[in-house]
Structure 1
Amino acid sequence: MARLTTTLLMATALVATAACSKKRPDVLPPAPGGAPEAPPAPATDPNGGITPGSAADFKRSAQSDTVLFGLDMYDIDGTARGILDSQAAWLTRYPNVRITVEGHADERGTREYNLALGDRRANAAKNYLVARGIAPTRITTISYGKERPVALGSDEESWAQNRRAVTVVVG
């Protein structure tokens, strides 16, 4: 009886194993040894892959997207005029592009004071661009005060980098 049980178990295992065998695939992979074809050479783009009128084009073409300010200041100095003039020239070439001017402050002062100062800085940059012929309807402003520092640190070098107005292309 034990022999009959063992034989039945072996036969069942053999049938189960045979049912699980793999079928041959319909399509076989290519034979080894063939060299793969090289991908086609990319077309040369005179713009380096940058779309004219885009945010990347603005950053490449304008002198800078950032104007820096002195402590508790929001006036446009000579350096800022040069930067904003280059931005105005680019904006003139692309009259359908809209921008946002972000005003920022360093960490010193109250939150309310820095929001107001950032607003004055953003509006000073906007007003300069408008004076250079850019339609005010294309420009929005926002103040972040001290909430979005570009340089972390509590020293004059960090504070100087955080006192700024940044022009961002939005479309």
Structure 2
Amino acid sequence: MKIKIILLAIFCLFLIIACAERKIYMPDGKETTGIVKKEEGNEIEKTKPSEEETSFTTSQMAELIKKLQEEIGDIHFDYDKYDVRQDDLPTLKKVASYLQKYPKLRVIIEGHCDERGTNEYNFALGQKRADSAKQYLITLGIISSRIDIISYGEEKPLCTEQNESCWQKNRRAHFVFIEEGK
């Protein structure tokens, strides 16, 4: 009987989290809640990729991906939150710009959490963090099929000390660039 009550409580917790309203910051600096639909004027400037940008050799693509991995930093989240922060919008715009410039690129967004909370809760929170970043990229004109998300919850920390400074580093979304079709 106790197990059924615990499972029901966990299910209810996930249901509450899934139905929670979230803030999403739009490219014009306004914030909205809930699901965002792409509107006119919410795109970053699009340019048609040059032939040079679409005809990479394998080694050139590997170099580009290596460069992007070094250049694009993580975005971070407040404790127990999955709202994209204003100070992380330039990073997301840069990701979108590269994805538009190089049509053979894809991105995997990894959601991460600090160690506080249960494994299940942190897994769900990491998923929401990755999805928030994905939804913002979609509002910038990136098609969703070029963006994958995964949650690692608390399983891959950058920092293992037990203090707020360390925990802040672990509350993040990390971008992994890959070649289309890989």
TM-score by length of 2: 0.62
* C-alpha distance in structure 2 between counterparts of 1:136 and 1:65, whole Å: 21
* C-alpha distance in structure 2 between counterparts of 1:117 and 1:91, whole Å: 25
Gaps of 5+ in 1: 1-49
Within the alignment, does 1:55 sit opposite 2:65 as a pair?
yes
Instruction: Give the SS at the match of 2:115.
Output: coil
Within the alignment, does 1:151 sit opposite 2:159 as a pair?
yes
Percent identity over paired residues:
39
Pairing 1:74-89 to 2, within 5 Å after superposition: 74-89=82-97
- Deviations, residues 41-90 of structure 1 (Å, cap 9, x unaligned): xxxxxxxxx83673212135x5x331000000111111111110111111
* C-alpha distance in structure 2 between counterparts of 1:154 and 1:51, whole Å: 41
Q: CA deviation at 1:91?
A: 1.0
Q: CA deviation at 1:126?
A: 0.5
Q: Which runs of 4 or more aligned residues in structure 1 lie more than 6 Å from their structure 2 counterparts after TM superposition?
A: none
Number of residue pairs aligned between Structure 1 and Structure 2: 120
What does residue 28 of structure 1 align with?
none
What does residue 173 of structure 2 align with?
165
Q: CA deviation at 1:140?
A: 0.6
CA contact (8 A) 1:51 1:57 kept: no
Q: CA deviation at 1:127?
A: 0.6
CA contact (8 A) 2:69 2:175 kept: no
Within the alignment, does 1:93 sit opposite 2:101 as a pair?
yes
Structure 1 counterpart of 2:118, one-letter code: T
The structure in which a higher percent of residues are strand is: 2
CA RMSD of aligned residues (A): 1.5
Structure 2 counterpart of 1:76, one-letter code: V
Pairing 1:1-171 to 2, within 5 Å after superposition: 51=60, 54-60=64-70, 62=71, 64-171=72-179
TM-score by length of 1: 0.66
Q: CA deviation at 1:170?
A: 1.8
CA contact (8 A) 2:69 2:176 kept: no
* C-alpha distance in structure 1 between counterparts of 2:69 and 2:97, whole Å: 13
